[in-house]
A and B are shown apart, each in its own frame.
Chain A
């Protein structure tokens, strides 16, 4: 293998992994506050299509980015209202969001499928994704607000008793996660592809979800994990090209299998689970009790 080829592969890995970092870091913050949002795939698709349509109609990158973010705020706001105020089941609500998002994005985008656009340079977003991980790591471990987010995720009753606003904290973390998923989608349709196609996020939302667990809810590990997951996917294509006989599907299932193994490892020990996973994850907060 020549140096150019290796640099080329690394470049492709860098460009293709960024959506995982965005969606993953958003979901990490949401889960740190104790909420499991399974709607990533739907949020990404709607973010992707909103940005794309706006760009085609206005030709303005700023508007398209702005509306893509707004779509994330609205959809994750609805999710937050349902799971926080109406105390609905987080799993079912997240799945509803994904199914709804797949349908909505396909409907909105139909007229625009195949429209050519000038893509944005992905490197801006790649740099931002690294800064974002740094920011989230700093925020969660070093700032007071970050500690409140973690306290709410560990034990919402104690956090509430201490006077922290559980609802407000979770609203903000859910919306942050939603916006990050929209950005991941925006990146895919505007920078990575750049085009719109029905279901174009191709399951990245689910990989991002696995990634958060794989990283045991730690931002820097998430960054490393994202590049491992992204790298495996790209290496698989290149290994096929140079004639390695292992089936490609084997590589594709690696992220999911690795996540299960990590999950077994941290869950099998009570203390380890306590250190790693947010204890209130997926437990609704009922103020009236």
Chain B
């Protein structure tokens, strides 16, 4: 076989290409996305307008954009700790669910409460629930050398069935006509909204604060430095004497707590009670957000807004173009494909002979 294309490791590793490649990936996604619209007999330009522009052309739409971007950003920021450390926690969806169960459970337990301390307690337990669920793969990894990718994934489905058990069983609303949902949380257990009449809530502030803290941790602390070194070379990290097992624990707990927080914000914010489908795949989509944002805290905020837009656009596309809202998943999948693909050009030089 004659190879016409030869590749070589880049020595002049470029930061510019590293941060440009997400833009290239988005451009390629839009290009290929227009073909999908053409195949469906839709005008691509009109469709893109409905998909990407009209959803955010009013205050309600912009509020919804933040509602969707908040959980994505919080989860992805947490995941960035794991990914930087080369730990593949892909069970954020389960950790989110556990956060909703723990935090939401507190809300249901004290459902006649009028105390202002209920919400902080729910938030705390949301984070604890997510962190608890993330500790399991961390323990299994450090004690038994178990592959964290598989265990965190399996635990996601366990968590979903636990939530299902609660909302059809002990926590089912007696006045809920037998539907699989809990009673609504008391008013003091609801997340305050930022603007009356819109759904955007104070979770946005949490996302921004977590982003800033993460930036400081990555750039100004020894812990951030350890993560960076371990991610680049686990051998170098060993020689330096960093305790890898501790790093695994910390990164899992941080990312689990973030996912749990996002889960609690969903149920005590826009939803207001517990039921089966509290998350439209946020835990998995946040993995795309983290990669698209290059594991950079500010990049993640930007990419969370972009991916949130694919959720909104998909809902509008269903209403106005009569195509299933799952079209949003097509765009999410494509953008990740292209991002991973363009990364190749970042690492390697390609020669054509």
Which A positions have Cβ atoms within 8 angstroms of B?
36, 38, 42, 78, 82, 86-89, 91-93, 95-107, 110, 198, 203, 206, 209-210, 213, 247, 249-250, 252-253, 256-257, 259-260, 263-264, 267-268, 270, 273, 282, 288
Chain B residues with CB under 8 A of A247: 165, 169
Q: Which of B107-115, B122-130, B250-258, B330-338 contacts A (4 or more CB under 8 A)?
A: B330-338
Give the A-B contact count at a CB cut-off of 8 A: 147
* 26 A–B contacts, CB within 8 A, in A order: A38-B90, A88-B343, A91-B88, A92-B287, A92-B336, A98-B333, A99-B284, A99-B332, A99-B336, A103-B328, A103-B330, A104-B330, A105-B326, A106-B329, A110-B323, A249-B165, A252-B164, A253-B161, A256-B157, A260-B154, A264-B144, A267-B145, A267-B147, A268-B143, A270-B145, A273-B145
Since A42-B333, A209-B150 are in contact, a sample of 13 more A-B pairs with Cβ atoms closer than 8 Å, ordered by chain A residue number, is: A78-B337, A89-B340, A91-B149, A96-B340, A99-B285, A100-B333, A102-B326, A103-B329, A107-B36, A107-B40, A210-B154, A267-B145, A282-B149
Chain A residues with CB under 8 A of B161: 249-250, 252-253
Docked pose: A267 CA to B150 CA in angstroms: 12
Asked whether, in the complex, the Cβ of A107 is within 8 Å of the Cβ of B330, the reply is: yes
Chain B residues with CB under 8 A of A260: 140, 146, 150-151, 154-155
Whose C-beta in chain A lies nearest to the C-beta of B141? A267
Residue among B149, B158, B327, B329 making CB contact with A256, cutoff 8 Å: B158
Whose C-beta in chain B lies nearest to the C-beta of A86? B344
Docked pose: A260 CA to B7 CA in angstroms: 40
B174 at the A interface (CB under 8 A): no
B57 at the A interface (CB under 8 A): no
Chain A residues with CB under 8 A of B326: 102-103, 105-107, 198
B185 at the A interface (CB under 8 A): no
Which label, helix, strand, loop or mixed, suits the secondary structure of the B interface?
helix
| Closest Cβ–Cβ distance, residue B20 to chain A (whole Å) | 17
Residue among A42, A86, A98 making CB contact with B340, cutoff 8 Å: A86
B 307-345 binary contact with A (CB < 8 Å = 1; else 0):
000000000000000011011111111101100110110
- If A256-B155, A288-B8 touch, does A93 touch B340 (CB 8 Å cutoff)? yes
- Which residues of B78-120 have CB atoms within 8 Å of chain A's CB atoms? 88, 90
Whose C-beta in chain A lies nearest to the C-beta of B9? A288
B291 at the A interface (CB under 8 A): yes
B121 at the A interface (CB under 8 A): no
